[in-house]
Amino acid sequence: MPGLVGFLVNPIAGIGGRLGFKGSDGAYGITALLRGAEPVAPGRARAFLEALRARPRFLAPRGVMGWRLVEEAGHGGEPLACVSERIWPTTAADTRRCAKAMVEAGVELIVFVGGDGTARDVYTATGGRVPLLGVPSGVKVYSSVFAEDPVAAARVLEDLLRGHASLGDGEIVDVDEDYFRRGELRLRLYGVTKTPVHPGMVGASKQPSPRDEEDALEEIADYIVEEVMETCTLYILGPGGTVAAVARRLGVEKTLLGVDAVHNGRLVGRDLDEEGLLSLLDHYRRAAIILSPIGGQGYILGRGNQQISPRVVRRVGLENIIIVASPSKLARIPRLRVDTGDPQLDEALRRRYVRVLTGWARYRVARIG
């Protein structure tokens, strides 16, 4: 049971998601700020702290990297003077410096708010010497040290504090963003560290779909194009290989890891951000969203497709979301998940049973948990 808990926020994490950026590392986070994007990590941190019923003793960096939020939420602990309170924007070097200082100060667990880049920085600084628990706030969340969402992270920490959760191995995984932005997914395992074993944790790192699923993908694409798609309807195509097969069947070039849109079989938007999608929805009266679960974790909204924001989903309507997945991919997923950052929308989506198209006129019923 951890005594002193480190709490570390990367306030830039995930800021590029609704702009359609494939990550927020380095210059991309700065670009998102210059374009007026609002930081999302502080809100995710607040949601975690407000949901936390236990009262651990936190050690957090001064200012926006943690302590200010801990104080606002009424939790106890002490600030850590590893960065200036006036620093903005923060950098990966600040994250690493503070994580190292936490270990030296004797923390027994680090809770961090960010994505895979943050997980990698914290792991690099700590060298696996203390367990890690991630509160997801990044564009990329492939590592298996993350809770499902901020509220789940609070439940995980509570159970760990009470001795009702154990520790196991979690993977620190990240992608090469340069390849990622060109539509090629290259995952790299950076290390293994201790993390809570708990139902609220993401169980496995996301992996690309096997290439031997081509036949199933072709059936799905044929059925969508020939039997599902209607004229005069805007179709928003989410990221991933399964949805890319639909675009190939239409004869349009899709951004594999971006969000595109088609109307009457014609590409009308490519690699769209949130505002681009909302603009199209102003123009086209009828719309639907085609999504596929992200790898082995099962997220259909909120991971890797943040530009399909709560505003976009509400404009389209929950009843107009089409989910597609090959049978083998669906079998690897314990349940479908959502983490849009909007608690009311997530609640409306969760505990629903939905049909997932798995082949020509073949559906399976799956639960959104």
Parent domain of 333: 211-368
Among the listed ranges 29-38, 158-167, 337-346, 359-368, which one has the minimum average pLDDT value? 29-38
Compute φ and ψ for 53, nearest 5 degrees.
-85, -30
> Would residue 344 count as lying in a domain?
yes
Q: Are 155 and 298 in the same domain?
A: no
DSSP strand pairing (260-263 vs 266-269): antiparallel
Total of domains in the chain: 2
pLDDT digits (tens, 9 = 90+) for 309-321: 999 999 999 999 9
Q: Is residue 346 predicted with pLDDT exceeding 80?
A: yes
369 confidence band (pLDDT: 50, 70, 90): confident
pLDDT digits (tens, 9 = 90+) for 219-267: 999 999 999 999 999 999 999 889 999 999 999 999 878 999 999 999 9
From residue 105, give the alpha-carbon distance in Å to each of 6, 67, 92, 132: 9, 15, 20, 16
> Would residue 85 count as lying in a domain?
yes
pLDDT digits (tens, 9 = 90+) for 84-121: 887 788 889 999 999 999 999 999 999 999 999 999 99
Residue identified by tokens 């499902």 is: 148
β partners of residue 168: 195
44-53, 191-200, 203-212, range with greatest mean pLDDT = 44-53
From residue 31, give the alpha-carbon distance in Å to each of 21, 24, 87: 10, 9, 17
Q: Are 17 and 117 in the same domain?
A: yes
DSSP one-letter string for 78-104: EEE-SS-TT--S--HHHHHHHHHHHHH
Q: Is residue 334 predicted with pLDDT exceeding 70?
A: yes
- pTM, full prediction: 0.78
Percent of the chain whose pLDDT exceeds 70: 89
Q: Is residue 211 predicted with pLDDT exceeding 50?
A: no
Choose the final residue of a domain: 197, 222, 248. 197
d(CA 260, CA 282) in angstroms, rounded, equals 16
Q: Are 16 and 113 in the same domain?
A: yes
Q: Are 183 and 254 in the same domain?
A: no
CB contact at 8 A, 308 and 238: yes
